[in-house]
Amino acid sequence: MDLVLFGPPGAGKGTQAVRLVENLGVPQISTGDLMRAERASGSELGKRFDDYMNKGQLVPDELVVELLTNRLKKDDAAKGAIFDGYPRTVPQAETLDQILSGLNRAVGRVVAIDVALDELIDRIVGRRVLVATGQVFHIRYNPPPAELADKVVQRKDDTEELVRKRYEEYLAKTKPILDFYAKRGLVREVNGVGDLSEVAQRIDAALA
Ligand code: AMP
């Protein structure tokens, strides 16, 4: 199963992907996580991401393809993947089609998680991440346990100013992808507001 989890930043794609990994038995592929790992490694490629990510802009398509192609070659992705934060542009969606078709695979479902901007800002500005595992918390809705409180950090791009910029990028470049997939009848819209398990149930229904 190749599943695209679609939605604006802060919609809950990463959080829901972690649960779906267990249920579907395929890995989560988050291009944002791959880019942060690449930057942390200090590689030349990672340095080329810096400017864009620090400004809340999308990284140019040609820099993303290499990361994605390499990740899809790994054994754990041989039967499918949950794409989180990819594709972000129509050309990226076309590239994904080409790569998957070379593997005799195709996107089977696009689950579009819908959350309004005010709530996205609230979620993202309060978001904290445990660097060691990538586990995500929220200072009010899902606070980290006391023993982890000094180990969680705020992503540098999780400020209100950058969320607004990232949302603009989403509206201008990413949202049009929905039409691309809707023409093939692949899109299921899911209300992303509610507690984790409620949203999870809606996603499961969209996959059934
Ligand atoms: P995310 O972790 O998905 O919120 O992504 C964080 C940032 O990484 C974005 O604001 C972009 O700068 C960059 N990024 C992640 N995935 C992509 C992608 N598929 N295409 C372009 N830029 C991306």
* pLDDT tens digits for range 154-183: 999 999 999 999 999 999 999 999 999 999
Average pLDDT over residues 72-80: 97
Percent of the chain with pLDDT over 90: 95
Q: Is 155 a catalytic residue?
A: yes
Q: Is 166 a catalytic residue?
A: yes
Catalytic residue among 36, 105, 127, 202: 127
Among 18, 28, 30, 31, the mutation site with the greatest number of ligand 1 atoms within 8 A of its Cβ is 31
Q: Is 73 a catalytic residue?
A: no
pLDDT, tens digit, 9 for 90 and up, residues 97-119: 999 999 999 999 999 999 999 99
CA dihedral 38, 39, 43, 48 (to 10 degrees): 110
Alpha carbons 203 and 208: distance in angstroms, whole number: 9
Element spanning 187, H or E: strand 187-191
Token code pair at residue 95: 């590239």
- Taking 90 as the threshold, does the pLDDT of residue 145 lie above it? yes
Q: Of all protein residues, whose CA lies closest to atom 1 belonging to ligand 1?
A: 32
Catalytic residue among 19, 155, 165, 188: 155
Element spanning 207, H or E: helix 196-207
Q: Of all protein residues, whose CA lies closest to atom 6 belonging to ligand 1?
A: 32
Token code pair at residue 93: 């969606």
Averaged pLDDT score across all residues of the chain:
96
pLDDT, tens digit, 9 for 90 and up, residues 182-204: 999 999 999 999 999 999 999 99
Residue of 52, 42, 188 lying closest to 31 (CA atoms): 52
